[in-house]
A and B are shown apart, each in its own frame.
Chain A
Amino acid sequence: MKWPLIRNLPNQTRFTYVRFAGIAAIFSFVAIAATFVSVFTGGFRENPVAIYQAAEGSPLDRTGAVLARGFNLGIDFKGGTSMIVAAPQPIDLEALRGALNALQLGDVQVQETTGPRDETSDLHYAVLRYESPSDAEAANVAQQVEDNVEALIPSGEVRDRQVVGPKVSGELFSSGLIALGLAIVLMLIYIWFRFEWQFGLGAVLALFHDVILTLGLFSIFRLEFTLTIIAALLTIIGYSMNDTVVVFDRMRENLRKFKKMPLGEVVDLSLNQTLSRTIITGCTALLALGGLLAIGGAALSGFAIAMIFGIVIGTYSSLYVAAPAILIWGVRRGGEGDPPQRSRADLVENRP
């Protein structure tokens, strides 16, 4: 091993990415298709036709009922009440469930959970969730439940309580979707403005790819989908874009420099030239997020999982979605566009 470690990384790799673009495209299409199937079948666990038939209302409402099973929505988006109960002794979940069922709240979930620092604290935790009745009643019912729980569990205490009314949760959900859409549109405009429209479309294709696959991860593995996950998705969009821009920047530069080189070779060359940067930046991000996943506690693990997955997928999509997309559409070459920027460095002969 040479010191520092970067010297082990070859200065110029000669991978031919474009050759595998076909295989990558198949992989991406399969993954996206799996995501859609999963969203419509509650993560391959339910029969969408049965749900559709059981639901009431217009075809649109029924389709909505099917889609609602697509994700394990947290109370941010589903509405409802969640409480964390802490007690010094193990909590009798059955007794708790029984007491809550007596209140007739509908579907009550009671689960054991770990505290944020289970290794140092000797408290036991349980989380309970139910759907809030209506906006007006939610707070009162929550208080009633809290009183019941604290009466049932000696020296137990409700630590954390979230009540989200159905109205708010619906708004959060739609504004989350709007934020995602807006982010993608803004990125398209920015890239269009800075590069050319083919680049913009390639970048946006990559963004859709990343967002859809991350959604698929959450749908298939039934990970809880909360407001924080929307934040993670937006950050993934930022990161993936960052990655794509670095590659595009190099592509633009190479297109000006090597006017006669076939487009496929330019893409390969650009990807090779930015490969070491892609690897190192990806590694640091994964290192930092790994720490978060390991010790960040339950509250941040969903965020960390989404981000780690998104960074891996975002890197892949910069290489195999955004760049090859340019190949499909082609770009204007030659004298058009910005004049090449000449710096002192350009005066020396370039040898790729």
Chain B
Amino acid sequence: MLQVARWRIILVIIVAVVGAIFAAPNVLPANVLERMPGFVRGSTMNLGLDLRGGSQLLLEVDLATLRQQRLEQIADDMSRQLRESDPRIRAVRRGIQGGVARVRLNDASEMERALESLQAIVSPIQVNQFGNSEPDVEFRDAGDGVIEAQVTDVALTQLARQSVRQSIEVIRRRVDPTGVAEVTIVPQGDDRIVVQAPGESDPEVLRERIGQTALLTFHLPAQNIDPLDAQEGRLPSDAVLFPYADQEARPGGVVVRRRPELTGEYLNNARAGFDAQTNESVVNFRFNGRGSRIFCNISTDNVGRQFAIVLDGQVLTDPVFNEPICGGSGQISGSFTPQSAQELALLLNAGALPVPLTVIEERTVGAELGQDAINSGALAGIIGAIATLVFMALAYGLFGLIACLALIINGVLIVAAMSLVGAALTLPGIAGLILTIAMAVDANVLIYERMREEQAQGRGPALAIDAGFSRAMVTIIDANLTTILAALILFQFGIGPVRGFAWTLSIGVITSVFTAVLVTQILLALWYRAARPKKLPIY
């Protein structure tokens, strides 16, 4: 083994040089970096949120609302299907209660036919690759002519996934309207979204922009409602009481028809501005073609009557139609500040979230704390590395120095690999790096100790080096594979910072085996050829 193949030497040199090139941008000052070619410049280590500062929000789709929305649709579909499929069946929609949608048949004896007819609105959902499928809704005879419909779990999961996909688009338009910020928005599991905004100075803004559904609706007032009934909550099922948004200025609310005449979907764009007469902050909007036609019809039919502009169930304003409005543009006034008008315009432009999202986890790290963490982590790393190098040099002399060289190349390779892969370096990741450096020495120690043993048993230096390598190899592979296994589990389970740790650990194990075995072997072979020693210096 002391005759090292030339290709091995070349391989090691190439890997080391390439590693150095990709690791360099992390330490070079900015002005030197500017003169480097582009492919080198791009590869710096990706710092995790805990190091660079920033916010991370974990959002969850509100499954209860999602189920409720779906049940509303199902209830409508059921009564329509029953009405249209068979003129003999008469059914009444009974609304939603306790997670089921109910329809009541006038004649309970029609039950069987009704259930059969309802199968037409069931759409199967494929649940696995073998083509098995489950229905998205289940119907049940609840006795007394009542049919109950339930959303299946499979359907709910599918809906959640859809909402997550749609929400990600909306969130991106909201938090990053210009598309320049480095915000990552990714799904997690079936019903969660992770939003990471590095360096965002005010997580509050982030949370407010995401926390609102921003569903804008236009309602006409409900008719023939006794104000006293409304106050006590006795309302027909097609009417609803919405409170005013600014309860301090205007307590109470407006009773309107539940079904909106128009929604934010019909908006083309919205912009914050000032009312020319009152000099108040307002939001100006334009409907799209269809929206402006509908609005024109409504305003023509209801001149002299009030209507309500409602955002997420709160009345922003309830002006009176003074004349038909057919120009397709409108204005929302209310108690806006210039900032809040701007925020609302932004939300309206981005569109409504399909379902409310709840913030279930938030982690914010100030940029200064992040910088402090980098500084102390880097210092600890440097001290740990130097201590290890000095220890090895003291313990093994020349062989220790060879191990040190392998260790330095190892460090360079880890940094280069992290930069290339784009794995985030986190605070636990720095700890992982330090630990990896210490563990990388282990392979060298195993080899050297084996050599000492072989020499103690009377072998010459060449044979001892040879046997040291070949016998230690088995152990090195076994020992490092176990560490990789642990790192893989960490990666599977880990979130955020812990995942960064798993990355550093696994990259470090791979590079350390490479350097400890190949680099050390080549250096030892070169030394042996030059020195032709009678004995190894570690005996």
**Chain B 151-169 interface 0/1 with A at a Cβ cutoff of 8 Å (1 = within):** 0000000000000000000
Measured in the bound complex, the distance between the Cα atoms of B50 and A241 in whole Å is 30
Residues of B within 8 A of A332 (CB): none
Residues of A within 8 A of B395 (CB): 4-6, 280
Residues of B within 8 A of A295 (CB): 376, 379-380, 383
Measured in the bound complex, the distance between the Cα atoms of B378 and A291 in whole Å is 11
Name the distance in Å between A204's Cβ and chain B's nearest Cβ. Answer: 12
Residues of B within 8 A of A14 (CB): none
A139 near B445: Cβ-Cβ < 8 Å = no
Given the contacts A116-B373, A292-B380, A285 and B439 also touching, CB distance less than 8 Å: yes
Residues of B within 8 A of A249 (CB): 474-475, 478
Measured in the bound complex, the distance between the Cα atoms of B18 and A88 in whole Å is 47
Residues of B within 8 A of A300 (CB): 376-377, 380, 427-428, 430-431
Residues of A within 8 A of B463 (CB): 344-345, 348
Give the contacting residue for A164; candidates B211, B361, B377, B501; CB below 8 A: B361
A183 near B391: Cβ-Cβ < 8 Å = no
Pick the most buried of B211, B379, B393: most chain A CB atoms within 10 A of its CB.
Answer: B379
Residues of B within 8 A of A179 (CB): 489-490, 492-493
B489 near A183: Cβ-Cβ < 8 Å = yes
Q: Name the residue on B nearest A341 (C-beta).
A: B474
- B residues 97-118 touching A (CB-CB < 8 Å): none
A4 near B372: Cβ-Cβ < 8 Å = no
Q: Name the residue on A nearest B485 (C-beta).
A: A186
Give the contacting residue for A138; candidates B359, B479, B481, B537; CB below 8 A: B359
Measured in the bound complex, the distance between the Cα atoms of B447 and A281 in whole Å is 12
Name the distance in Å between B336's Cβ and chain A's nearest Cβ. Answer: 21
Measured in the bound complex, the distance between the Cα atoms of B489 and A234 in whole Å is 8
Q: Name the residue on B nearest A228 (C-beta).
A: B428
B372 near A121: Cβ-Cβ < 8 Å = yes
Residues of A within 8 A of B502 (CB): 231
Name the distance in Å between B220's Cβ and chain A's nearest Cβ. Answer: 31
Chain A positions within 8 Å of B, measured between CB atoms, are: 3-7, 11-12, 84, 86, 115-117, 121, 135-136, 138-139, 142-143, 157, 159-165, 167-168, 172, 175-176, 178-179, 182-183, 186-187, 190, 194, 227-228, 230-231, 234-235, 237-239, 241-242, 245-246, 249-250, 253, 273-274, 276-277, 280-281, 283-285, 287-292, 294-297, 299-300, 303-304, 307, 343-345, 348, 350-351
Give the contacting residue for A344; candidates B387, B388, B467, B493; CB below 8 A: B467
Name the distance in Å between A5's Cβ and chain B's nearest Cβ. Answer: 5
B362: interface (CB < 8 Å): yes
B532: interface (CB < 8 Å): no
A interface SS class: helix
Measured in the bound complex, the distance between the Cα atoms of B483 and A6 in whole Å is 27
Name the distance in Å between B62's Cβ and chain A's nearest Cβ. Answer: 9
A161 near B397: Cβ-Cβ < 8 Å = no
Closest 7 CB pairs of A and B: A4-B397, A238-B486, A345-B467, A288-B384, A159-B366, A116-B372, A179-B493
Measured in the bound complex, the distance between the Cα atoms of B459 and A115 in whole Å is 57
B505 near A235: Cβ-Cβ < 8 Å = yes
A242 near B479: Cβ-Cβ < 8 Å = yes
B369 near A116: Cβ-Cβ < 8 Å = yes
Name the distance in Å between A136's Cβ and chain B's nearest Cβ. Answer: 5
* Tally of A-B Cβ pairs under 8 angstroms: 267
Residues of B within 8 A of A164 (CB): 361-362
A289 near B485: Cβ-Cβ < 8 Å = no
Given the contacts A242-B482, A343-B470, A288 and B438 also touching, CB distance less than 8 Å: yes
Q: Name the residue on B nearest A12 (C-beta).
A: B456
Other A-B pairs, 18, CB within 8 Å; known A5-B394, A6-B396: A116-B375, A117-B375, A160-B364, A161-B203, A161-B363, A187-B486, A190-B482, A231-B502, A235-B505, A238-B485, A242-B482, A285-B439, A287-B387, A288-B384, A291-B380, A291-B384, A292-B380, A344-B463
B interface SS class: helix
Measured in the bound complex, the distance between the Cα atoms of B434 and A165 in whole Å is 32
Give the contacting residue for B358; candidates A136, A227, A238, A280; CB below 8 A: A136
Give the contacting residue for B445; candidates A121, A136, A280, A344; CB below 8 A: A280
Pick the most buried of B362, B388, B456: most chain A CB atoms within 10 A of its CB.
Answer: B362
Given the contacts A227-B497, A234-B486, A245-B475, A348 and B458 also touching, CB distance less than 8 Å: yes
Residues of B within 8 A of A304 (CB): 431
Measured in the bound complex, the distance between the Cα atoms of B443 and A226 in whole Å is 31
Measured in the bound complex, the distance between the Cα atoms of B493 and A351 in whole Å is 48
Residues of B within 8 A of A292 (CB): 380, 384, 431, 434
Residues of A within 8 A of B493 (CB): 175-176, 178-179, 182, 230
Name the distance in Å between A211's Cβ and chain B's nearest Cβ. Answer: 12
Measured in the bound complex, the distance between the Cα atoms of B431 and A344 in whole Å is 41
Residues of B within 8 A of A239 (CB): 439, 483
Pick the most buried of B397, B431, B434: most chain A CB atoms within 10 A of its CB.
Answer: B431
Measured in the bound complex, the distance between the Cα atoms of B458 and A167 in whole Å is 65
**Chain B 375-413 interface 0/1 with A at a Cβ cutoff of 8 Å (1 = within):** 111011101110110011111111110000000000000
Name the distance in Å between A13's Cβ and chain B's nearest Cβ. Answer: 12
Measured in the bound complex, the distance between the Cα atoms of B203 and A143 in whole Å is 10
B486 near A237: Cβ-Cβ < 8 Å = yes
Residues of A within 8 A of B376 (CB): 116-117, 295-297, 300
Q: Name the residue on A nearest B388 (C-beta).
A: A284
Name the distance in Å between B373's Cβ and chain A's nearest Cβ. Answer: 6
Residues of A within 8 A of B353 (CB): none
Give the contacting residue for A287; candidates B428, B438, B490; CB below 8 A: B438
Measured in the bound complex, the distance between the Cα atoms of B495 and A306 in whole Å is 20
Given the contacts A179-B492, A235-B486, A297-B372, A165 and B453 also touching, CB distance less than 8 Å: no
Give the contacting residue for A345; candidates B385, B430, B466; CB below 8 A: B466
Pick the most buried of B364, B435, B474: most chain A CB atoms within 10 A of its CB.
Answer: B435
A163 near B362: Cβ-Cβ < 8 Å = yes
Q: Name the residue on A nearest B392 (C-beta).
A: A284
Name the distance in Å between B424's Cβ and chain A's nearest Cβ. Answer: 14
Measured in the bound complex, the distance between the Cα atoms of B398 and A143 in whole Å is 60
B435 near A285: Cβ-Cβ < 8 Å = yes
B219: interface (CB < 8 Å): no
B248: interface (CB < 8 Å): no
Name the distance in Å between B505's Cβ and chain A's nearest Cβ. Answer: 7
A168 near B501: Cβ-Cβ < 8 Å = no
Residues of A within 8 A of B489 (CB): 179, 182-183, 186, 234
21 A–B pairs (Cβ distance < 8 Å), ordered by A: A4-B397, A116-B373, A163-B359, A167-B360, A183-B489, A228-B497, A235-B435, A238-B482, A238-B505, A241-B486, A242-B483, A246-B479, A249-B478, A281-B442, A283-B391, A287-B388, A296-B431, A300-B376, A300-B431, A343-B467, A345-B459
Name the distance in Å between B316's Cβ and chain A's nearest Cβ. Answer: 21
B36: interface (CB < 8 Å): no
Q: Name the residue on A nearest B401 (C-beta).
A: A4
Name the distance in Å between B401's Cβ and chain A's nearest Cβ. Answer: 10
B539 near A7: Cβ-Cβ < 8 Å = yes
Name the distance in Å between A233's Cβ and chain B's nearest Cβ. Answer: 10
Name the distance in Å between B311's Cβ and chain A's nearest Cβ. Answer: 18
